[in-house]
Structure 1
């Protein structure tokens, strides 16, 4: 039986019982929820508050469950509304906090000083300036503008997503001993890329908190000013994992992979435990540098960190690393060992297999993905179309291209069109390739035309090669490789006059053939360019988004 305890007079009353303190898993939460339903779900206000609080704020990723529970409460009080606003604002979908607030208004629920800061935090994360301005108006209307909590959040909002001048004026009129206000203004200038002003505010702070140090270090690191970042790093009185992550990610972004790994080695004897962001940065460093030996050591550190388990993000990153370092067997091993897979996991292995020419395996896994009812996205189709191209499966490639459009309602982008052009070109279907390009719904780019030109050289088609070259030169005149490809097509057909004329055009326009370039090199470069064009996503994007959270 769940103990009853209520205090309806205070809408923000919160005192947790032993029962709710022990509720730290979804299983326990569901058991208590079931007991509440049996005993009358809406009859005990204290337990309703605790149910919302635990599901929205205590259980990791429990906010969706909290929304389901909240929708069934007949008359949620202000504490429940504020708890849902808080949980939603810090969730991956902060827009729900804004929508919840609009529901509050419609129901006539009177907000308090805690309500608006949660909504403003959501607006800041979403960069919804207009909505934030509206919330600012509501704060003034309700008389909360001088409340310290509300004012600091207003400074943070305007500094990061609203009007920096308003943030500065609010700051000037506030109590300047508030370290939160100083940090908010520093973060705002840094996020907007104005490191000069950010540093000015930072240097003037009467007392610096760790957030301010991390904001400045991250700001310098994102701008590639690693010397300035390192100098501040050495001055931090006490570092946390965010401080180390900012430095490691900064070095990785600058291509200074050795320094990133050295930073990792430096933090270990100091007792600082790495987290997922740390390991994502280090895996990315190994991916970019192609250092398989170091990558395997980082892989072991990842396993040690997670007790042998791999998160989705780290699993995907390791699949990508091993594939790009040439060990596709390890990629497959990690893929099959992952207990939980999402569409990006499948994309990582399909793309890795396709990139390294394991076309049949890539197609097989794509089919398995569909059998398991995992909905493919645009990246999934890039991978399988590349695989079809390398395997010479023209009809299957056509089928997947049509499937993407008609069954999954995915509009083809330039990469999908590039895959199809490469598919037809490799198969020698040059007329079909050119017809396909002519019917494209988006403008073909230079990589499309160069792929066609390369196919014309392979299949010795002078006429179509001339047309591809003309289109290509409209987009990037002066590239010697494009002229050389067409010249070689003329030469392969014995049309020496055409080759000579083209050489003369190159001389007249001042186009010089690059030294140490051969036909074999050009072919390899074409393939590499196309593959990089098709597979241009990197785990570093995720790292940057995670590191943004300190702002």
Structure 2
């Protein structure tokens, strides 16, 4: 059936289009390709154009296959070049769109008004200002600067990553001032640069506002954390789409207003708007940050309904992270084990989650499983497994993994890896070895490393090394009230009350004050503030005076 349709000599694209509308996946695409090869791949220009259009535009995941097909065409026409440039500009690798244009120039194919907007879109996505400016010169050279497609593409490019003044001049030079695309592009440019006053002025002056314009302004306010202004516009939007809702939810998440984000989701569902993957990612992030496990479980159930064929890798990873941060490590493991496809982030999330929640043996076992499967770990993986070794007291194994990091995987240890080693040695009571390790570090130890060691000295009651760690913090001008408290407690644990008094005096002389601690206790749906003092420090000080 496919062969019969392809052997028709008709060059009318519209007549053949039903065949290509049915081409919705790569398998069908390959069947059509095979039929064309049998009948002479380059013999039907019309079929070639539709094959390229289907692979480059209609099927988002087929752009690499489109490039393979394109390389087999002996004399691609301008429509085919433009289609490939357009598909590449919209793909995850927009650099290929620029490369195709350069190739097109070498083949002396003259561009038309449809060519440059796609190339400029690729330059915008890549933030290639110099290349985009060079393309601007080509647009002028070929006389497309005042064509609506060319002009709007130039405004969009300069507004987003080029010169906003050039975008404004192009806009001011427009003959017709009712082009909503140009208005939206310029407004978006000012909003993305944080110039919301100018953006709002343009928005208010728009003769016609489309949904893109509304979403642009709401996004601008949300990114700046001005959620009241964003909500005012949201309430005024004549008709919303999923992007409008997602912008508001993401804005509330970024502002730390997680309850509002969740309430917005519930409202979204009530009005019948179907959430997408972006919605769920924002909400899971909110649940992870706020510890809203119950709501996170609801989101998980909704995701299973939306993705009956299985979750994407990205969603699976965020679910693992959410469950781990909410303390439900078994749920995180269930999600991990149930994923059909995993990437390194999946392994990192579950190993890190297990390690930080004290499930050290499981974290180490998963790391060993990872290496058995020949999956190459990265620096994040090693942070997780070193934390696991630290919590499990596996000093020998921790040293082995630290050496593995450098010797087998050629990863230069960073401050986090070194901090894990200091923590591991400190927990194990190997304080002298921890100091020696710091002395041999290739990178400068930061306050966190010294503070970790100071805490270990407090646990093991080592006054001398605790004083040395505190001195390093003082040299860095990074000492905090908690550091003085730790040192004071080390002295107190050994009955050295003169030392406690010395620390208190040093603290007073430095102008450092002990901050009052507080905790939140929820009772009858009300958050009650409970203020705390460091009891040990206070009792030590009273006893030293008494």
TM-score (norm 1): 0.89
User: 8 Å contact 1:6–1:45 — kept in the other structure?
Assistant: no
1:388-399 paired onto structure 2 within 5 Å:
388-399=389-400
Q: 1:109 to 1:371 in 2, by over 3 A?
A: farther
Shift of 1:517: 4.4
Structure 2 counterpart of 1:161: 161
* 1:368-420: CA deviation from partner (whole Å, max 9, x where unpaired): 22322333222222211211211222232223223333333333322222222
**Where does residue 34 of structure 1 map in the other structure?**
34
Q: Which residue of 2 aligns with 1:194?
A: 195
Residue ranges of structure 1 left out of the alignment (5+ in a row) = 522-551
Q: Residue deviations 1:337-393, cap 9 Å, x none?
A: 111111111111111111111111112112222322333222222211211211222
How do 1:288-307 residues align onto structure 2 when only pairs under 5 Å count? 288-307=289-308
State how far apart, in whole Å, the 2-side matches of 1:79 and 1:293 are.
Answer: 53
Tell me, yes or no, if the aligned pair for 1:316 and 1:348 is still in contact at 8 Å. yes
Equivalence for 1:540: none
Q: 1:310 to 1:46 in 2, by over 3 A?
A: same
Q: Which residue does 2:408 correspond to in 1?
A: 407
> Compared with structure 1, are the counterparts of its residues 83 and 337 closer, same or farther at alpha carbon in structure 2 (3 Å cutoff)?
same
> Which has the bigger relative contact order, CA under 8 A and spacing at least 6?
1
RMSD of aligned residue pairs (Cα, Å): 2.3
Alignment of 1:126-141 (within 5 A): 126-141=126-141
CA distance in 1, matches of 2:354, 2:9: 59
- CA 1:51 to 1:436, structure 2 compared with 1: closer, same or farther past 3 Å? farther
Tell me, yes or no, if the aligned pair for 1:456 and 1:465 is still in contact at 8 Å.
yes
* CA distance in 1: counterparts of 2:108 and 2:405, whole angstroms: 46
User: Is the CA contact 2:86–2:118 (under 8 Å) kept in the aligned structure 1?
Assistant: yes
Task: From the superposition, tell whether residues 6 and 485 of structure 1 become closer, same or farther in structure 2 (CA, over 3 Å).
Answer: farther
Relative to 1, partners in 2 of residues 1:4 and 1:191: Cα closer, same or farther, differing over 3 Å?
A: farther
CA displacement at 1:151 relative to structure 2 = 0.5
1:408 to 1:97, Cα distance in 2 relative to 1, 3 A? farther
Distance change >3 Å, CA 64–CA 401, structure 1 → 2: farther
Classify 1:384/1:64 alpha carbon distance in 2 versus 1 (closer, same or farther; 3 Å). Answer: farther
CA contact (8 A) 2:447 2:478 kept: no
Cα pair distance change 1:366/1:30, threshold 3 Å: farther
The 3 A distance-change label for structure 1 pair 361 and 270 is same
Taking the aligned partners of 2:89 and 2:294, their CA distance within structure 1 comes to 41
The answer (yes or no) to whether the contact 1:189–1:198 under 8 Å persists in 2 is yes
1:74-89 aligned within 5 A: 74-89=74-89
Q: 1:293 to 1:142 in 2, by over 3 A?
A: same
Which segment is superposed worse, 211-220 or 88-97? 88-97
Change (3 A) 1:370 1:15: farther
Corresponding residue number in structure 1 for 2:333? 332
2:525 maps to none
- Distance across 2 between alignment mates of 1:473 and 1:74: 72
Q: Deviations over 1:62-81 (max 9, x none)?
A: 22222233334343332222
CA distance in 2, matches of 1:264, 1:167: 36
Q: Which moved more, 1:156-165 or 1:454-463?
A: 454-463
State how 1:335-346 maps to structure 2 within 5 Å: 335-346=336-347
Alpha carbons 1:159, 1:187 under 8 Å: kept:
yes
Cα drift, residue 308 of structure 1 = 5.8
Q: 1:294 to 1:245 in 2, by over 3 A?
A: same
How far off is 1:165 after superposition?
0.3
Map of 1:181-220 to 2, 5 A cutoff? 181-220=182-221
Distance 1:208 1:41 in 2: 47
CA radius of gyration, larger in: 2
For the Cα contact (< 8 Å) 1:245–1:278, is it kept in 2?
A: yes
- Distance of 1:157 and 1:464 partners within structure 2: 59
Which residue is 2:487 aligned to? 486
Hey, what's the Cα distance between the residues in 2 that align with 1:82 and 1:197?
A: 35
- What is the aligned partner in structure 1 of residue 356 from structure 2? 355
User: C-alpha separation between the residues in 2 aligned to 1:164 and 1:259?
Assistant: 34
Is the partner of 2:61 in helix, strand or coil?
coil
- Contact 2:6–2:36 (Cα < 8 Å) also in 1: no
Which range is displaced more, 242-251 or 392-401?
392-401
In structure 2, runs of 5+ residues without a counterpart are: 517-531, 538-546
Task: Give the secondary-structure state (helix, strand or coil) at the position aligned to 2:273.
Answer: coil
1:271 corresponding residue in structure 2? 272
Partner of 1:318: 319
Q: Is the 8 A contact 2:60 2:91 kept in 1?
A: no
Pairing 1:97-246 to 2, within 5 Å after superposition: 97-174=97-174, 175-246=176-247
Alpha-carbon shift at residue 304 of structure 1 (Å): 1.6
CA distance in 2, matches of 1:356, 1:484: 26
C-alpha distance in 2 between matches for 1:46 and 1:389 = 66
Q: Check 1:479–1:204 CA distance in 2 against 1; reply closer, same or farther (3 A cut).
A: same
Contact 1:42 1:73 in 2 (8 A): yes
1:63 correspondence with 2:66: no
User: Cα deviations across residues 69-109 of structure 1 (Å, max 9, x unaligned)?
Assistant: 33343433322222221112112222222222222233333
Change (3 A) 1:57 1:249: same
Q: Does the C-alpha gap of structure 1 residues 52 and 371 become closer, same or farther in structure 2, counting only changes over 3 Å? A: farther
- TM-score w.r.t. structure 2 length? 0.89
Q: 1:33 to 1:128 in 2, by over 3 A?
A: same
Structure 1 pair 519/452, CA: closer, same or farther in 2 (3 Å)? farther
Tell whether the 8 Å contact from 2:473 to 2:479 is kept in structure 1 after alignment: no
TM-superposed CA distance for 1:7, in Å, is 9.1
Q: Quote the Cα distance in structure 2 between the aligned partners of 1:279 and 1:227.
A: 23
User: Residues 44 and 271 from structure 1, CA distance in 2 versus in 1: closer, same or farther, beyond 3 angstroms?
Assistant: same
User: Contact conserved, 1:378 with 1:410, CA < 8 A, in 2?
Assistant: yes
C-alpha change, 1:43 and 1:397, in structure 2 (3 Å) is farther
Report deviation, 1:311: 1.7
**TM-aligned CA deviation for residue 232 of structure 1:** 0.6
